[in-house]
Structure 1
């Protein structure tokens, strides 16, 4: 009988650790959640109203980029550009879409020869972006967020 009592007493003492409840703080839960977060992707890309019919994320991104490129090229076609030599260049446009849907130009990379031939090209591109239709910002986990893009623009003037 003593052996059973001693065995039960040892089992009770050893099993006490299984009844301890670990307390977690909200900060610990938040830190764990932030570790699983992919900060480089959004749930929905920025878009224009013409892109509303698309459901796939990549289709919306393609529609946004195509609409933006078409708008810039249409605006540049209205301008009379006179050059001494043919210009064929790819311009890199870096921009930011704010969480309010505002487009902010970060950088426009243009070759020096193109700048020499078309000195007001940066101003023309900036001006064309001022007449864009309303941009709906990107969404990440139900919140509107900033997104940054780098987009090539092919310029060909004969």
Structure 2
């Protein structure tokens, strides 16, 4: 019987709200969750429809970069860019994939690139780099996000 009273007393103290825990507010929970997210990386990289068939994330990413590089090289080999600038063998292209699946291309030139007519190269690139296949945007926590990366594109193949 003595143990029964002890158990009853123990149950009463634990069931009371003397030991009430502090519940964090909604803003605190939101701030904690936002701090835990790595905003520098995406959960899924942009991809073409053909690359979506691959199972692993790294393979899909590599497929996207390889396919995009190949498409850009094919489009630029049709032009006289290598004839106008024979010393230019590689261009770094800043690719932006927007959440609405649109892509934007901007050539990146070194700061001391006075040897090139950057405006002319830029206009050639904008004229050639159109009509790409549909691209699925990058995803962060299931939401389409804007991504940017610099892609080296070889112009002159020897």
TM exceeding 0.5? yes
Deviation at 1:83, TM superposition (A): 3.6
- Work out the number of aligned pairs and report it: 143
What's the offset of the Cα at 1:112? 3.8
Q: 1:64 to 1:27 in 2, by over 3 A?
A: same
The answer for unaligned runs of 5 or more in structure 1 is 1-15
Partner of 1:56: 56
- Normalised to the residue count of structure 2, the TM-score between the two structures is 0.75
CA contact (8 A) 2:101 2:134 kept: yes
- In the alignment, which residue of structure 2 is the partner of 1:87? 87
The answer as to 2:102 corresponding to 1:109 is no
TM-score (ref. length: structure 1): 0.75
- On the 8 A contact 1:47/1:136 being kept in 2, the answer is yes
Match of 1:22 in 2: 22
- Dislocated runs of 4+, deviation >6 Å: none
Residue number in structure 2 paired with 1:96: 96
Match of 2:6 in 1: none
Does the CA contact (< 8 Å) of 1:88 and 1:157 recur in 2? Answer: no
Cα deviation, 1:65-105, whole Å, max 9, x if unaligned, reads 11111111111222245747742432111122111111123
For residues 106 and 46 of structure 2, the distance between their equivalents in structure 1, rounded to whole angstroms, comes to 17
Residue number in structure 2 paired with 1:13:
none
Counterpart Cα distance in 1 of 2:63 and 2:94: 18
Aligned counterparts of 2:137 and 2:84: Cα–Cα separation in 1: 41
Task: For residues 1-47 of structure 1, give each alpha carbon's deviation from its aligned partner in whole angstroms, at most 9, with x where no partner exists.
Answer: xxxxxxxxxxxxxxx99513313211111111111111111111001
Contact 1:94 1:105 in 2 (8 A): yes
Return 5+ residue gaps in structure 2 as ranges. 1-15
Deviations 1:102-129 (A, max 9, x none): 112355326443x25x973322222232
Aligned to 1:3: none
| Contact 2:73-2:154 at 8 Å conserved across structures | no
Distance 1:29 1:106, change over 3 A: farther
Distance between the aligned counterparts of 1:136 and 1:56, measured in 2?
A: 16
